Amino acid sequence: MQIHAIQKEQCPAAKEVILAGFLERFGFIDHTLNPDIQDIWSEYMQEDDLFYVGMDGDRMICTGAIRRESEDTFQVVRMSVLKPYRKHGLGRRMLAHLENKAQALGARKLILETNKQWADAIHFYKKNGYSETHEDEVSCYYQKEFPL
């Protein structure tokens, strides 16, 4: 898998990767939710907000992005791996890529949120060094700090 910053013409395919994950998880897609994926280019490719895609040849197989929350904190968002490509370390590679990019931009801490019902996602983030900070009725929130 090759990881690179998304190209403008790849935005529709990235949206489809993300929506495939939602359909799998929820059984339906509510297009009024998640407005950030309606225009990925405008939402993520400005300043420090960066969206990346993982490619297997010409096929997009995963996505991931970071958003600056403060001077030294970034949020990991839009992590998605197409189902046939899971359990091969591709999500781990994308997460490491996002962590490295965030650190290069000055991150001391990464935060993220995932659905409480997604046990595999929770396990994935814990296995990759993220600690739960809190939860609400729907989501669990995690963070990972980087040493100085």
Record the pTM: 0.91
What is the token pair recorded at 50?
């960066």
Query: The domain 2-145 is classified under which CATH number: 3.10.129.10, 3.30.300.210, 1.10.10.410, 3.40.630.30?
Result: 3.40.630.30
- Max alpha carbon distance in the chain (Å)? 43
Tens-place pLDDT, residues 34-78: 888 889 999 888 877 799 999 999 999 999 999 999 999 999 999
pLDDT-derived band at 23, boundaries 50, 70, 90: confident
- Report how far residue 71's alpha carbon sits from residue 147's, in angstroms, rounded to the nearest whole number: 16
3-state secondary structure of 96: helix
Q: Look up tokens 């409480």; give the residue.
A: 116
Tens-place pLDDT, residues 62-120: 999 999 999 999 999 999 999 999 889 999 999 999 999 999 999 999 999 998 988 88
